[in-house]
Amino acid sequence: MNKSLEVLTTELVIGGMTCAACAAQIERSLRSFDGVTVTVNYATEQATVTHPAHLDPATLVAEVERAGYTAELRHATRCEEEPLRGLEERLIISASCAAGVFAPAVIPALGVPGWEWVALALTLPIVAYGAWPFHRARTLVSLGILASFGWSLWNLSFAVTAAITLIALTGAYLEARAKRHTGTALRALYDLGPKDATLLRNGEVIHVPADRVTVGDAFLVHPGEKIATDGVVIEGHSAVDASGLTGESIPMEVGAGDRVVGATVNAGGRLMVRATRVGHDSRLAQITRLAEAAQSGKTEVQRLADRVSAIAVPVVLSIAAATLVAWLGLGAPAPDGIGAAIAVLIIACPAALGLAVPTALRAGTGRGAQLGILVKGADTLERARRIDTIVLNKTGTVTEGRMRLASVIAAEGESREEILALAGAVERASEHPIARAIDEAGGSVLPVEEFAALPGRGVEGWVAGKWVLAGRRELLVERWGELPDSLEKALAEAVGTVIVVGWDGLARGVLVIADSVKPTSARAIRNLKALGLSPLLLTGDRASVATRVAAEVGVNFVLAGLLPEGKVEAIRALQRQGRVVAMVGDGVNDAAALAQADLGIATSTDRAIEASDLTLVRGDLRVASDAIRLSRRILTTIRGNLFWAFAYNLVALPLAATGLLSPVVAAATMALSGILVVANSLRLRRFR
């Protein structure tokens, strides 16, 4: 019945596009199918199509081909060299032929009668073969070349036609070359994937391709080798270099029990690792997907540029025709009028306009990926520009989140060992940093039943026949009434995060947990302030801990003791005051707040990616200010590009129409504007 309820996303690699108008055309033809949404990115030569499951991807490919382009389903490695080599070939052949056409001007002896027929024979391949990419895709340049050629036939002088084509082709070639560089970062990510793995199966060592590892497999990583996939170290001790994946330059020490990420490099001793995530679920796959998504999104400005490109052809044709009519009407000689009309056709091709957004996005988000910054969508950039307030979560964001149990305080008649063992057992099932600290210290092996996590409040479950509750003070008070006086006193005196533990209707102990501020946090907060943002600390932990951390890192505003809903409400309140709010968090109990913020920045790729706009692959808070700076820089670059592309068309068009720009100069300017835009975008690759 509901055959089209299920929706698939298909990625296509598109070939043969030479300006943004092509992308728009392909989008139009694919949208002719019911229920299809599509974005075609001219710079990445990629189409992202969401379509009903009953629509075969092969049909999509066929439709793109019908529109005059090539398409194939995307595989991890793509070959982009081909179109570039094709252009190079056309350029060399056209240049050789053009040399013959220009020869009489340089060597007058060649100006023998009848030479114009040789010149015609040499111009034909230039116009037919050399200019083919323009005939296929850049209507205006193609028309300019053809009109010029027609005029050459009339007066038997071919130099202008040859020159225009050659210049336009050189421009397209240089543009394609530079454009390729904008994508190097993403390609580096594709190449990062480990190739093979050394598996231990049934006591035997076997070598397999890395994609054959399955969850639960144990594999060996020798010094210098890449870790085959995400996993947990089960044996050995080493340092892991993640610089290729996250930009983090300092290797991290790992030992048994620590998590490691696939595609990072084992820089020390031999490790044995048990695979926890493979293939599509791995961190590398996740990062690659995010990096790709950023590049194929479209900003508002891009959509505007696309609309302009789409109406450019009829508008410019009318201007060119009007130019010709005006010149002839004013009694000017035909060659002057025709020259001006041809210059209009060539100059007005919106090639630079089509490159303005995608090349900047590609170079900028690619650079981001190298630095461990993943921008979710192009629209994020606009929001990153407007934020004025930055809300920082405490646990795991400003602090290490690697918590340690500092002390156990038992109520009268209770045993500290029992408190720790029972609390450790329930916490084992939770993924909160607090839980890990308690679990590690408790070393409990007791199983837990009917476990439940109460987000931002605590955990509960059956352990050894007892109903155990561990969490914030309010939780236990709410369930079982006032705490014994001895525990209230311990809570008031304790320095640090405190967890109350109880079972069978009675609070019986307090666990004090210590966390340290990340050494980089204070610096990071200075950087954020330097960007003009006012920082605010937000936490579910109690106020005494929060104010101490805030003072240590230089934050003046603190919102403490909040439940997850309270965090959302706090953000909303700031927004009601007219603030534009960014929030940084790890997603444990703050995913909803991240989503409520105008700009959500997640400091882990595991959680909260859905709710965030920016993901920082590394925990270092300094990357947050880099991410905001980078987003703003990409946006500035896009605006600069658009300005130059538009300004060039606006200034050059009247000059061409009034005959102040010859067709040859028009071709040179057109080529130059495209190259300048790409070069401007490439500056983003040096962002630091």
State the residues that interact with ligand ADP by CB under 6 A: 393-396, 427, 430, 432, 434-435, 456-459, 470-472, 497, 499, 539-541, 588-590
**CA 688 to each of CA 367, 479, 685: distance values in angstroms, whole numbers, following the listed order:** 9, 52, 9
Using DSSP bridges, classify how beta strands 599-602 and 614-616 pair: parallel, antiparallel or unpaired: parallel
Give dist(CA 409, CA 420) in Å, integer.
10
Sheet with 238-241, strands from edge to edge, namely 252-254, 238-241, 265-266
Interacting partner of 472 out of ligand ADP, Mg ion, none (Cβ under 5 to 8 A depending on kind): ligand ADP
Q: Which is nearer to ligand ADP, 476 or 684 (CB)?
A: 476
Tell me the closest approach of the beta carbon of residue 435 to Mg ion, in angstroms: 12
Interacting partner of 582 out of Mg ion, ligand ADP, none (Cβ under 5 to 8 A depending on kind): none
Burial of 655 (0-12, 13-18, 19+ CB in 10 A): middle
Tell me the closest approach of the beta carbon of residue 585 to ligand ADP, in angstroms: 7
Residue in this structure with the two tokens 């010709």, named with its chain if needed = 324
Indicate whether 546 belongs to the interface with Mg ion (CB under 5 A).
no
Q: Which two tokens stand for residue 435?
A: 């839980």
Tell me the closest approach of the beta carbon of residue 562 to ligand ADP, in angstroms: 7
Q: Which is nearer to Mg ion, 268 or 455 (CB)?
A: 455
Interacting partner of 470 out of ligand ADP, Mg ion, none (Cβ under 5 to 8 A depending on kind): ligand ADP
Interacting partner of 626 out of Mg ion, ligand ADP, none (Cβ under 5 to 8 A depending on kind): none
The residue number with the shortest CB distance to ligand ADP is: 540
CB–CB of 12/46 below 8 Å?
yes
Q: Which amino acid is at 402?
A: R
Q: Which is nearer to ligand ADP, 435 or 483 (CB)?
A: 435
Tell me the closest approach of the beta carbon of residue 255 to ligand ADP, in angstroms: 24
Q: Which is nearer to ligand ADP, 284 or 405 (CB)?
A: 405
Q: Which is nearer to ligand ADP, 541 or 620 (CB)?
A: 541
Q: Which two tokens stand for residue 408?
A: 């156990």
Q: Which is nearer to Mg ion, 24 or 562 (CB)?
A: 562
Tell me the closest approach of the beta carbon of residue 551 to Mg ion, in angstroms: 19
Beta-carbon contacts of 239 under 8 Å, excluding residues fewer than 6 positions away, are 251, 252, 253, 254, 267, 268
Indicate whether 456 belongs to the interface with Mg ion (CB under 5 A).
no
Give dist(CA 118, CA 99) in Å, integer.
12
Site for Mg ion, residues 384 to 423, rule: CB under 5 A: 393, 395-396
Tell me the closest approach of the beta carbon of residue 493 to ligand ADP, in angstroms: 17
Q: Which amino acid is at 410?
A: A
Give dist(CA 154, CA 157) in Å, integer.
8
| Size of the residue set binding Mg ion (CB under 5 A) | 4
Sheet with 497-503, strands from edge to edge, namely 404-410, 506-514, 497-503, 466-471, 458-463, 448-454
Alpha helices by DSSP H, 557-662: 564-576, 591-596, 622-657
* Residue among 149, 388, 191, 424 at smallest CA distance from 288: 191
Q: Which is nearer to ligand ADP, 380 or 497 (CB)?
A: 497
Tell me the closest approach of the beta carbon of residue 27 to ligand ADP, in angstroms: 43
Identify the three-state secondary structure at position 435: helix
Interacting partner of 459 out of Mg ion, ligand ADP, none (Cβ under 5 to 8 A depending on kind): ligand ADP
Give dist(CA 16, CA 176) in Å, integer.
12
Tell me the closest approach of the beta carbon of residue 636 to ligand ADP, in angstroms: 34
Indicate whether 537 belongs to the interface with Mg ion (CB under 5 A).
no
**CA 453 to each of CA 43, 448, 588: distance values in angstroms, whole numbers, following the listed order:** 46, 12, 12
Q: How many CB atoms are closer than 10 A to CB 316?
A: 23
Tell me the closest approach of the beta carbon of residue 195 to ligand ADP, in angstroms: 39
Q: What binding mask, one character per residue, do residues 588-607 give for Mg ion by CB under 5 A, x or -?
A: x-------------------
* Residue among 652, 676, 654 at smallest CA distance from 665: 652
Give dist(CA 528, CA 482) in Å, integer.
42
Tell me the closest approach of the beta carbon of residue 443 to Mg ion, in angstroms: 25
CB–CB of 158/120 below 8 Å?
yes
Give dist(CA 425, CA 468) in Å, integer.
9
Structure letter (DSSP) for residue 408: E
The residue number with the shortest CB distance to Mg ion is: 395
Q: Which two tokens stand for residue 417?
A: 């060992």
Tell me the closest approach of the beta carbon of residue 298 to ligand ADP, in angstroms: 35
Tell me the closest approach of the beta carbon of residue 541 to Mg ion, in angstroms: 9
Identify the three-state secondary structure at position 79: coil
Give dist(CA 607, CA 591) in Å, integer.
8
Beta-carbon contacts of 31 under 8 Å, excluding residues fewer than 6 positions away, are 37, 38
Cα-Cα end-to-end distance for the chain: 55
Q: Which is nearer to ligand ADP, 390 or 434 (CB)?
A: 434
Q: Which is nearer to ligand ADP, 541 or 613 (CB)?
A: 541
Tell me the closest approach of the beta carbon of residue 539 to ligand ADP, in angstroms: 3
Residues that bind Mg ion (CB under 5 A): 393, 395-396, 588
